[in-house]
Amino acid sequence: MKRCAYCGYVIEGEAKEIAPESGSGARPAAYWHKYAADCVVAETRETGRSPLQRRLSNL
Ligand SMILES: [Zn+2]
């Protein structure tokens, strides 16, 4: 079971794997909701694009 590192909720559908920062050693990969619409935190933000949407598009 994967948990979204962004909102902290369990990811039911597809997860997006976030690569650990390079040079930080063998840290486990983090996961986010693949789509901002599934992310609880993103859903609660109503004005414009959420920070998560912006970050996902920059990956
Ligand atoms: Zn999430």
- pLDDT, tens digit (0-9, with 9 covering 90-100), for 26-58: 677 889 999 888 887 755 555 556 677 777 777
Whether 43 is covered by a domain: the verdict is yes
Q: How far is the CA of 15 from the centre of ligand 1 (A)?
A: 9
Q: How far is the CA of 44 from the centre of ligand 1 (A)?
A: 11
pLDDT score for 15: 93
Whether 8 is covered by a domain: the verdict is no
The boundaries of the domain holding residue 43 are 15-57
Whether 3 is covered by a domain: the verdict is no
Q: Is the pLDDT of residue 10 over 80?
A: yes
CB-CB contact of 1 with 9 (8 Å): no
Whether 53 is covered by a domain: the verdict is yes
- Give the three-class secondary structure for 28: coil
Q: How many structural domains compose the chain?
A: 1
- Lookup: tokens for 13: 């559908």
pLDDT score for 19: 80
Q: How far is the CA of 8 from the centre of ligand 1 (A)?
A: 6
Phi-psi group of 39: left, alpha or beta (phi > 0 → left; psi -120 to 50 → alpha; rest → beta): beta
What's the CA dihedral at 27, 31, 32, 33 to 10 degrees? Answer: 180
pLDDT score for 24: 60
pLDDT score for 48: 56
pLDDT score for 17: 92
Whether 2 is covered by a domain: the verdict is no
